[in-house]
Structure 1
Amino acid sequence: MLLFIYVRHIRRFAHDVPWVHLGVALVGNLAFVIGSLFFLSPALTRAGTWLFVVASWGLLVGVIGEILVRYEVKKRATVVAAALRQDPA
């Protein structure tokens, strides 16, 4: 259900703010790097594991959003092109 709401929201608004996906990717990559460093200490292994889980979900959501944005941009371009063909003036 949450993914459906996210997909609907992204299709409407994400093409207006493309930096959001870059931000999600940056946070995800930082979490992977910090999680990797946490694995060097036995006391921080659990925190490193959770950073990997959170980063994986964040990157998955970011990629899904990027795919939806590209789809929506292509769909809108098709609609505009069809409108221009019908009424060139």
Structure 2
Amino acid sequence: MQRQALENELGQGNSMVIQRDDDPSETMARLAKDTEQLAQFELENFSPVLKRWHPFPGASAVATLHSCYGVLLKQYVAKATCLTNELV
């Protein structure tokens, strides 16, 4: 049931399928927004249940999301040839 709730929540037409022509900074901004929404969804729906087994389940989930986003952000910054206002 929770899996179905997650699929319903995340499957609202927000797809991370990107085109080659998409601006990388727009893609990263969209990914940041989606990551924030996923963290909020986790805190509202899964953390209350997981508190039985972990004192701070939200912190664990957010740390994991932060790490995953950080990997993608590092790849994005590594491809930059120079710093611009948009990149910063």
Rg (Cα) greater in structure:
1
- Which fold has the larger relative contact order, with Cα–Cα distance below 8 Å and residues 6 or more apart in sequence? 1
User: Is TM > 0.5 for Structure 1 vs Structure 2?
Assistant: no
TM-score (ref. length: structure 2): 0.38
Q: Counting helix residues as a fraction of each chain, which structure ranks higher?
A: 1
TM-score (ref. length: structure 1): 0.38
